[in-house]
Amino acid sequence: MNKVKLNKYISEYSVKNKKNKPYPVYSVTNSNGFCTEYFTKDVSSKDKENYKLVPFGYFAYNPSRINVGSIDCQEKEDTVIVSPLYTVFKCSDNIDKHYLKYFFKSRYGMNLINSSVSGSVRFNLKFKTLGEFQITERTLEEQKFAVNLFEKINGVISSSNKQLVLLDELIKSRFNEVFSSFQKSKLSDLAEIIMGQSPESSAYNDDGIGLPFFQGKADYGEKYTVTRHYTSKWNKQAKKGYVLMSIRAPVGPVNIASVDCAIGRGLCAINAKPSKANNEFIYNALNNNQDEIIMSGKDGSTFAAINKEQVYSLLLPCAPINLQNEFSDFVHHIDKLKFSKHGGLMYA
């Protein structure tokens, strides 16, 4: 297949709202594409003559945010407007707009976007640079076939993800059914707690050997970016199987550690006392107690964070260890079911 420059198919469209018509104002995000939810205040009274028009079927992107996927085809309304900072373009009849959208969202497309401005202090992808990207030349029929295939795959992934959510809800339901009637105990009575802190420079190992270093944010999940390693001199360590919890926004349980790791500010590690609890139970108890955890850290401020005393005082059901172990077995069974039914799709 031949490769051609993208400018064979796209052309910039820079028409402003000179008559200041009351078109709806949109933005483009990496998660929601064209959306209006980022505008919490009425902007109808503002001068929008410099805002750019985006007709139905045209593309727009934020030049400084396209590196995270903030590009989309406008299929919400006949015409919308976007900030003057945006770049707007249209595609020719020789390329399917949905095929082009998949191209931009693909790993190949994202690599092209990120490599085009490597070394720059500030990301800013100009339309001329975008037009220089190479794309495989395919017939419209081939493009439409590919789009149809992608849509079917996305449908399978969406259905699979819905099933995974239902299985997670099943775990929560079982937890509440079994443990809701038990009296509560402080977390510190059920587990040992290690509070992370800023690492000491003497513990840093710059040869890439040692414990991976995690610094807390609950939305990291399993997808940590490990940029540093720490030696055994750093005593803030979590062993594989410990529960990791973010103690600053977003507050809440992160996961059960899959590897030994060093923990920094914003994280704490929790390890159940063998005779009183198990870590699977603690993780799910914290998950079920998410709202209460967040509220305990508010203290009248808008930034949620919890301190050591609040972590120690979190209340969890004080249930017999045999019931906890039975629940843990149930969770493991559900996890196996997730993997056997959904395989790689559970991580899509």
Element housing 245 (H / E): strand 243-246
Shared domain for 192 and 164, answered yes or no, is no
Inter-axis angle of helices 321-342 and 279-288, nearest 10: 80
Shared domain for 233 and 303, answered yes or no, is yes
Shared domain for 52 and 86, answered yes or no, is yes
Shared domain for 68 and 159, answered yes or no, is no
Shared domain for 132 and 201, answered yes or no, is no
pTM: 0.59
Looking up residue 290, the CATH number of its domain turns out to be 3.90.220.20
Shared domain for 189 and 134, answered yes or no, is no
Domain that holds residue 24: 3-138
- pLDDT number for residue 347: 42
- 3-state SS record for 89-150: EEECCCCCHHHHHHHHHCHHHHHHHHHCCCCCCCCCCCHHHHHCCEEECCCHHHHHHHHHHH
Shared domain for 333 and 271, answered yes or no, is no
- pLDDT number for residue 323: 95
Shared domain for 174 and 123, answered yes or no, is no
Encoded amino acid at 348, one letter: A
Helices (H) and strands (E) in the chain, counts: 9, 21
- pLDDT number for residue 238: 86
Shared domain for 311 and 187, answered yes or no, is yes
Shared domain for 190 and 246, answered yes or no, is yes
Average pLDDT, the chain: 83
Q: Residue 221 in 3-state DSSP?
A: coil
Q: Round to whole Å and give the CA distance between 169 and 2.
A: 49
Shared domain for 333 and 310, answered yes or no, is no
- pLDDT number for residue 231: 58
Q: Round to whole Å and give the CA distance between 244 and 178.
A: 24
pLDDT tens across 94-104, in order?
Answer: 999 999 999 99
Number of C-alpha atoms within 13 angstroms, CB side, residue 175?
22
Work out the average pLDDT over 68-84.
94
Shared domain for 176 and 295, answered yes or no, is no
Work out the average pLDDT over 70-84.
95
The number of folded domains in the chain is 3
- pLDDT number for residue 259: 83
